Amino acid sequence: MDVVLPALLVLVLLAAWVYLPIAPAVRELYDRTDVAPVRVVQESAVDVRYFARNFRRFVDEHMGAALARCREDGATQHGQLPEGIPFIVVDHWDPKEPPAGVIACCGTLRLPARGVFRFEIYAAESVIGGEMGVYKALLAEDSIMLAPQSLSLRWLHAESTIRVGRNSRLHGRVSAGRAIEIGDGCAFERLNAPRIAFGRDIRVDLPAVQEVPITAGDVPGVVDTAAGRWLVLGALRLPVAARVDSDIVATGDVRVSRGARLAGSVKSHRDVYLGRGVRVDGSVVAGRNLHLSEGCRIHGPVLAEGAVFAGAGCHFGSPEAPTTVSARRVHLAEGAVAHGTVWAHDEGVVAAQTMPVQGLERRQDEERGHDTEDGV
Amino acid sequence: MLRALIVLAVGAVVVFFVSRPLRQADRPEVDIGGRRWAEVLSWNFASGPHPKGWGWGRRSFEDGALELSSGATYVLPAVHGSVFLLETELQLVGDDPGTHVGAHLGTRDGGAGFSTSGMAAFAGGRPMYFRHKLARMQATADFVRTSEPIAHGTWHVMRLVVSNGRIAGYLDAREVFAREVPSVRTIYAEPFLAAEDGTVRFRSLRVYTTPEFRVPNVYAAETPPGTPTVPPGIGRTTSGSPLAVRHAWWVRLMLYAFYVVIALVCVYMVRHYAFTLNRVFGTQRHPYLDVDVADWPRVTVLIPAHNEEAVIGDILEALATVDYPAGRLTILPIDDRSEDKTGEIIDGIAARYNGLITPFHRREGHPGKAAALQDAMQFVEDDIVLVFDADYVPGHGLIKQLTAPFFDPEVGAVMGRVVPHNVPENLLTRSLDLERAGGYQVDQQARMNLRLVPQYGGTVGGVRKRALQSVGGWNALSLTEDTDATLRLMLGGWKVAYQNRSECYEQVPESWPMRIRQLSRWVRGHNQVAAKYSGQLLASRRVGWREKLDTLLLLHIYVMSAVLLVGWLLGITLWFLGVNRPGLLVILAVACYSTLGNFAVFFEIATATYLDGSKARVRLLPFTLLGFLVSLFTVTSVTLTQALFTPRGDDVFWHKTEHGQRSRQTWT
C-alpha cells in the first residue's frame, strides 16, 4: 500500500502534466472557433487612394443629400454620423464656426490660419488652407492649396492639383489626379500623382556629351555576362559619357560618371552614385543608399533600402511612363520632378540646396589631387 | 514504401538483438567456496598489461607479472555488484629499509571512491588491514586483524569476499578475517592492485560477482578532484558492461556519431530560433512592395494543367480580370494530355477573351509539370514568366505584386505566399494550415530579411525567362523543378525574391494518404537536388558563405529525419551499453529537434499565427506533433529507399494534389 499510493499519485500528476497542453487543443478541435482561412486581400494592398475613395463613398452615403441641398440654397446643415460624430455641410467656411466634426463643403472651402481640424474635410470644389493649419484628412474634387507650415496627419487627395507651401509636414499619403507641388523644406511620406514637383522649378544645364559605348571587357570585375546582365564582383566605376546596353549588378559600390547612359537597369548591393546628367532607362536598385547628382533621369523604379539623395533637377519616370521611388529616407533637392509615386518610409524631405554628399565628394577628390573631370 | 519498411524493421531488429548481449557480459560461472560465482574479470599478467588497465606510480610488466613499487596502483575497469569476490596471486619482493612492504587488493565505485572495499597484507609483522566503506553517508571503519606476516619471495593467493552482510579475507585459502558489515546495494567499477612501501609482484587478478547481477542502465561515476588523468584510449566513456569495455573503439565510434547527430540537431534548432526572432524583432524587408506605379513589362502566365476540369475555369476567369495594363499580359494554359474536359474548358474561355488567353495543348514529350513548362517556353515571348498551378485563384493585384521584383536586375525568380483555403475540413487541413503559416510567414520571410535564399515554390511565383534559360531552363527530369531552378539560378548569380504579402489561396491535402504522396514527392525531388548541387554550391564563388550554409541546411532538411531516427537508435543502443554521456544534455538536444524539426517548428508556427492575427488556432500546436511523426517516418522511408534503391531515380510523372469540392466564398 505504501508503494501503490505514491505510484498512483505520480500517475495522476503525469496525466495532468501531459493533459495540460492537450486540453486547449482538444477544446479548439471541437469548438472550431478559429477555422477560417487567413484573409487574403484581393485588391492591391498599396492603393494610395484607398482612404480617399472610401471617404468619398462615405460622404455620398451620409451627406449626399445635404450637399445637394447646399448646392441649391447654400444652407448650412448640421447632423450626426452613425458613430455619433457631428458633421456640418456648408457652402463656405464661417470663421466663427468651431471646427468640430466632419466638414463637407458644396463649393470651395477656405480655412483659417492656425485652424486645427481633427476630422475629415470634403470639398466639392477646392480646399484652401491657411498658414499653420492642421488637418486630419482632406478630399477635394478640384484642388487643395495649403499655406506654408501646414500639417497633414493622415491623407490628402485632390482630383486636380495639390500645392503645399514651404516647411509643411505631410504625414500619410498625398495623391492628386494631375499634379502635386511641394515647397522647399517640406517633409512627406507617400506621394502619388502624374507629376510631382519638389520646390521651385530649376533648370539644370547639362553639356552635351558624346556617348562612348562600353562593353564588359572594358570593365574589371565582370564575371558573367549571360542573359544580358553584367555580374560584377566588387565595385564598378563607369567613365564619363559611358553607354552600357546591359543590366548591371555589382556586389560593391557603383559609380557612374557624369553624362553616362545606362540602357538597362543597375543594382548595387551597397551604394549607387550617379553623376550629373546620368540617364538610366531601366531601374536603379541600391542595397544601401542612392546618390544622384543634378539632372539625372531615371525611367524605371528607384528602390533603395537606405536613402535616396537626389540633386536638383532630377527626373523620375515620365508622363507617359510613371514610376515609383521608394526608400527609407528620400531627400530631394529643389527642381526634382517625379511622375508616379514617391514613398519615404521614415523621412521624405525637400531640400533647398545641393546635396551635401555631392559636395563632400568633390572636396575629398580635390584634396587628394584627383582629376575631378572623371569623378562623379 | 514496402522495401523501406523492411529495411527499417530489419535494422531495428538487428540493433535490438545486438545490443541485448552487449548489455550483459558473457560470464562463465564457477564454484568457489561452495558458492556459485559469475566471472566478471580474469586477467593473467603473463599476457602483459590489460588493454584497459591504468594506474599511477612505478609499474612494470616483467617475467609474466605486474610489478608495483612504493605506492603504485594498477586499476582494471570491471563492473560488479555489492556481492563480489576478488582474488590475486602476489609475491612480496622486498622493502625499503625501515618500512614494511604491503600488497593491496581492493575495489571501488570508480572515480568517486565513496564505496571502497579492500584488504592489505604486509610483510615484517605489520597486521593485515581490511576496509569496507559504503557511499557517502555510511562509512565503515577500517578493520585491522593481526595475522602472521606474509613471507617474502613466495607466491600467495589473497582473496576478499563481500557477501550478504559479511566481509571475509583469505590468505592461501585460509580465512584470516571475517566481520559482519552493513548490506547495502551498490555498484563497484574499479578493482585495483597496489603496493605500499616496497615492491610487490602480481600474477593475476580475478573478479567475480553473483550470476544474477546485471549492469544497470544508468551508471555514471563522478570524477573527484585529484583523480589521476585517465590515459588516452581508455576514458570513463567506456565504463559500462565488460563487453563495452572490451570493444571500446566501436562504442566510442557510436558515441561520436551520436555527438554528430546532436550537433546537427542543434544547428537546425539555432537556425529556426534565428528565423523566429528575426521575424519578431528584426528589420523586415519588403523592397519591392511599394512599386505600385511603373512601366509594367509584358508578362506571360503559365498554368500547367493535367486533368484539371474541376478548377481550370476558375483560375482563367480570375486571371482574365486582374489589374494589369491591357495588352501586356498573356495567359498560357498548358493542357498536358488531359483525359477529361480540361482542354475544352480552356478553349471555351479563351474564345471569350480574344487574344488574352493562348492555349497550348501538349500531346507528346516527357511527362510531368517541368517538361510541360519547358515545352511551353517556346511560345513565350515575354521575359517575365509567372507560374500558377491550376487549383489556385490569384487576386486582383497579385500579378503586379509578383512582377514588381523583376525591376531588380538581380532577381531571377519570385515567390509569393500560399494560404490554405480548405482549412475547416479536418484536423489534417488545420495542421497543414499551421505548417504553411510557419513555413511562409516566418521561414521564407526571415530568409528574405536575412538576405539568404528564399525558395521558389513552383506556383504563385515566376522566373525571368532569360535568367532561367541562361542556367539551362526547366529541368524536365526533376520531381521538384522549383527547387532545382532555385539552385541553378542561385549558382548563376541570380536572386530569389519572396513577397510575403503576395498571397494566393491553395488547397491542401485533405487525407493522410494524399499528404504522404505529396510529401514523398517533395522529399524525393529535394534529395535529388541536394545530391546534384551540393558540391557545386560549396565550390561556387558567386554565392556567399551565409547563403551557402543556409542553402545546404535547406537542401538536407529531409535527410535530417533519417539522421534523427539514427540518432534515436544510437541513443538507445548506447543507453543499454551503459554509456550515457552527456546524459540530460542529449535528451534535451534530441527533444529540441522533435519540437523544432522539419515543417513542425513550433516556435515558427506560433509566431506565424501571431503575425497573421490568428488567435485560437495556435492551441492546435500539440496536434502538429502527429504531422511531424508522420512526416518523420515518411521522409525517412523515402530517403532511405531513394538512397538504397533509386539513387538516380527518374520516375517523373504528373503529381498533383487531388481536389475535393471547393468553397469559393473565401475569395470574395
Give the whole-angstrom CA distance, residue A253 versus residue B374: 37
Q: How many CB pairs under 8 A join A and B?
A: 167
Mean pLDDT of A121-126: 95
- A119 phi/psi in degrees, rounded to 5: -125, 170
Mean pLDDT of B364-380: 90
| Residues of chain B contacting A282 with CB distance shorter than 8 Å | 407, 409
Among the residue ranges A64-68, B366-370, B498-502, B516-520, the one predicted with the least confidence is B366-370
Give the whole-angstrom CA distance, residue A180 versus residue A175: 8
Q: Residue B171: which H helix or E strand, with range?
A: strand B166-171
Q: pLDDT exceeding 70 applies to what percent of chain A?
A: 91
- pLDDT at residue B570, rounded to an integer: 82
3-class SS letters over B288-335 = CCCCCCCCCCCEEEEEEECCCCCCHHHHHHHHHCCCCCCCCEEEEEEE
Q: What letter does residue B138 receive in the DSSP assignment?
A: B
**pLDDT of A367 higher than 80:** no
- pLDDT at residue B226, rounded to an integer: 37
Q: Cβ–Cβ of B620/A28 closer than 8 Å?
A: yes
Mean pLDDT of B88-104: 79
| Residues of chain B contacting A30 with CB distance shorter than 8 Å | none
Residue of B28 and B414 predicted with greater confidence: B414
Q: pLDDT exceeding 70 applies to what percent of chain B?
A: 81
On the CB side of A376, CA atoms within 13 Å amount to 24
- Predicted confidence band of residue A358 (pLDDT cuts 50, 70, 90): very low
Q: Cβ–Cβ of B294/A265 closer than 8 Å?
A: no
Is B407 at the interface with chain A, CB within 8 A? yes
Residues 6 or more apart whose Cβ sits within 8 Å of residue A205: none
B198-209 and B84-95 strand pairing: antiparallel
What does the mean pLDDT of chain B come to?
82
Q: Cβ–Cβ of B623/A45 closer than 8 Å?
A: no
3-class SS letters over B210-251 = CCCCCCCCCCCCCCCCCCCCCCCCCCHHHCCCHHHHHCHHHH
Would you state the cell numbers that stand for residue B241, as one nine-digit string?
A: 558492461
Is B288 at the interface with chain A, CB within 8 A? yes
Q: Cβ–Cβ of B293/A299 closer than 8 Å?
A: no
Nearest Cα to Cα of residue B40 among B68, B80, B8, B98: B80
Residues 105-164 on A with a CB inside 8 Å of B are none
| Residues of chain B contacting A33 with CB distance shorter than 8 Å | 616
8 A C-beta contact, residue A59 and residue A67: yes
Q: Cβ–Cβ of A326/B291 closer than 8 Å?
A: yes
Which of A46, A227, A247 lies nearest to residue B289, judging by beta carbons?
A: A46
Is B662 at the interface with chain A, CB within 8 A? no
State which amino acid sits at residue B83. V
Among the residue ranges A144-153, B202-211, B528-537, B583-592, the one predicted with the least confidence is B583-592
| Distances B219 to B22, B230, B574, B577, B583 between C-alpha atoms, Å | 15, 18, 12, 10, 11
pLDDT in tens, B380-407: 999 999 999 998 989 889 999 999 999 9
pLDDT in tens, B156-205: 999 999 987 888 999 888 888 888 887 777 788 899 999 987 889 999 99
| Distances B112 to B73, B142, B189, B224, B236 between C-alpha atoms, Å | 16, 18, 10, 5, 12
Is B501 at the interface with chain A, CB within 8 A? yes
Nearest Cα to Cα of residue B318 among B291, B357, B266: B357
* ipTM of the complex in this document: 0.89
Most confident option among A21-35, B436-450, B648-662? B436-450
Mutate to test the interface with B, among A34, A284, A320 (most CBs of B within 10 A): A34
Which of B290, B424, B467 lies nearest to residue A324, judging by beta carbons?
A: B290
Mutate to test the interface with A, among B407, B470, B508 (most CBs of A within 10 A): B407
Among the residue ranges A36-40, A86-90, B56-60, the one predicted with the least confidence is A36-40
Helix B624-644 / helix B559-576 crossing angle, nearest 10 deg: 100
- Predicted confidence band of residue A212 (pLDDT cuts 50, 70, 90): very high
Give the whole-angstrom CA distance, residue B528 versus residue B648: 8
Q: Cβ–Cβ of B409/A28 closer than 8 Å?
A: no
Q: Residue A161: which H helix or E strand, with range?
A: strand A161-164
CA B485, chain centre distance (Å): 28
- A109 phi/psi in degrees, rounded to 5: -105, 120
CA-based Rg of chain A, rounded to a whole angstrom? 29
Residue of B425 and B19 predicted with greater confidence: B425
Among the residue ranges A131-135, A353-357, B292-296, the one predicted with the least confidence is A353-357
- pLDDT at residue B412, rounded to an integer: 96
| Residues of chain A contacting B288 with CB distance shorter than 8 Å | 303
- pLDDT at residue A152, rounded to an integer: 96
8 A C-beta contact, residue B119 and residue B106: yes
**pLDDT of B335 higher than 90:** yes
| Residues of chain A contacting B492 with CB distance shorter than 8 Å | 224, 226
Among the residue ranges A222-236, B242-256, B548-562, the one predicted with the least confidence is B242-256
pLDDT in tens, B630-666: 888 888 888 888 877 665 554 544 555 554 444 433 3
Is A22 at the interface with chain B, CB within 8 A? yes
- pLDDT at residue B351, rounded to an integer: 94
For residue B588, how many other CB atoms are within 10 A of its CB?
12
Q: Cβ–Cβ of A285/B407 closer than 8 Å?
A: yes
Q: Cβ–Cβ of A300/B295 closer than 8 Å?
A: yes
Nearest Cα to Cα of residue B210 among B374, B24, B351, B348: B24
**pLDDT of B604 higher than 80:** yes
Mean pLDDT of A181-196: 96
**pLDDT of B579 higher than 70:** no
- pLDDT at residue A261, rounded to an integer: 96
User: By CA distance, what is B608's nearest residue in A?
Assistant: A38
Residue of A313 and B645 predicted with greater confidence: A313
- Predicted confidence band of residue B279 (pLDDT cuts 50, 70, 90): very high
pLDDT in tens, B474-533: 988 887 889 999 999 999 999 999 999 999 988 899 999 999 998 888 888 888 899 899
Mean pLDDT of B416-438: 92
**pLDDT of B585 higher than 70:** no
Q: Cβ–Cβ of B407/A283 closer than 8 Å?
A: yes
Is A369 at the interface with chain B, CB within 8 A? no
A169-173, long-range: CB within 8 Å, 24+ apart, which pairs?
A: A172/A137, A173/A48, A173/A51
Is A65 at the interface with chain B, CB within 8 A? no
- B352 phi/psi in degrees, rounded to 5: -80, -30
User: By CA distance, what is A21's nearest residue in B?
Assistant: B622
Q: Cβ–Cβ of B464/A300 closer than 8 Å?
A: no
Q: Cβ–Cβ of B505/A322 closer than 8 Å?
A: no
8 A C-beta contact, residue B425 and residue B510: yes
3-class SS of residue B256? helix
A297-298 and B166-171 strand pairing: unpaired
Helix ranges (H only) for chain A are 4-31, 50-73, 356-368
What does the mean pLDDT of chain A come to?
89
Per the listing, cell 550470476 goes with B211
Nearest Cα to Cα of residue A157 among A301, A49, A76, A32: A49
- pLDDT at residue B578, rounded to an integer: 63
- B452 phi/psi in degrees, rounded to 5: -95, -140
Give the whole-angstrom CA distance, residue B591 versus residue B607: 20
Give the whole-angstrom CA distance, residue B638 versus residue B521: 9
Q: Cβ–Cβ of A285/B503 closer than 8 Å?
A: no
Q: Cβ–Cβ of A37/B427 closer than 8 Å?
A: no
**pLDDT of B254 higher than 90:** no
- Predicted confidence band of residue A81 (pLDDT cuts 50, 70, 90): confident
Mutate to test the interface with A, among B286, B288, B292 (most CBs of A within 10 A): B292
pTM for the full predicted model: 0.76
Give the whole-angstrom CA distance, residue B476 versus residue B479: 8
Give the whole-angstrom CA distance, residue B484 versus residue B638: 19
pLDDT in tens, B114-169: 788 898 888 776 778 888 887 665 566 677 776 666 777 889 999 999 987 888 99
| Residues of chain A contacting B395 with CB distance shorter than 8 Å | 40-43
- pLDDT at residue A223, rounded to an integer: 92
Nearest Cα to Cα of residue A211 among A247, A253, A242: A242
Q: What letter does residue B405 receive in the DSSP assignment?
A: G
**pLDDT of A361 higher than 60:** no
Is A297 at the interface with chain B, CB within 8 A? no
| Residues of chain A contacting B422 with CB distance shorter than 8 Å | 37
Nearest Cα to Cα of residue B265 among B522, B20, B646, B562: B562
Nearest Cα to Cα of residue B57 among B191, B200, B153: B200
DSSP A352-376: SS--HHHHHHHHHHHHHT--TTS--
Residues 230-269 on A with a CB inside 8 Å of B are 231, 233, 247-249, 264-267
- pLDDT at residue B173, rounded to an integer: 85
A337-351 and A187-198 strand pairing: antiparallel
Which of B492, B542, B621 lies nearest to residue A25, judging by beta carbons?
A: B621
pLDDT in tens, B7-39: 667 766 665 555 444 444 457 888 888 888 999
Mean pLDDT of A197-207: 86
**pLDDT of B3 higher than 60:** no
Q: Residue B590: which H helix or E strand, with range?
A: helix B584-596
| Residues of chain A contacting B437 with CB distance shorter than 8 Å | 38
The verdict on whether omega for the bond into residue B582 sits within 30 degrees of 0, i.e. cis, is yes
| Residues of chain A contacting B469 with CB distance shorter than 8 Å | 227
Give me the residues paired with residue A340 across strands. Answer: A193, A323
Nearest Cα to Cα of residue A159 among A54, A68, A57, A49: A49
Give the whole-angstrom CA distance, residue B577 versus residue B123: 42
Nearest Cα to Cα of residue B446 among B599, B290, B268, B282: B282
8 A C-beta contact, residue B162 and residue B114: no
| Residues of chain A contacting B466 with CB distance shorter than 8 Å | 227-228
3-class SS letters over B596-637 = HECCEEHHHHHHHHHHHCCCHHHHHHHHHHHHHHHHHHHHHH
3-class SS of residue B579? coil
Dihedral class, residue B128 (left if φ above 0, else alpha if ψ from -120 to 50, else beta): beta
Q: Residue B70: which H helix or E strand, with range?
A: strand B65-75
| Distances A224 to A212, A218, A219 between C-alpha atoms, Å | 22, 13, 12
Q: Cβ–Cβ of A33/B616 closer than 8 Å?
A: yes
| Distances B668 to B389, B399, B406 between C-alpha atoms, Å | 20, 17, 28
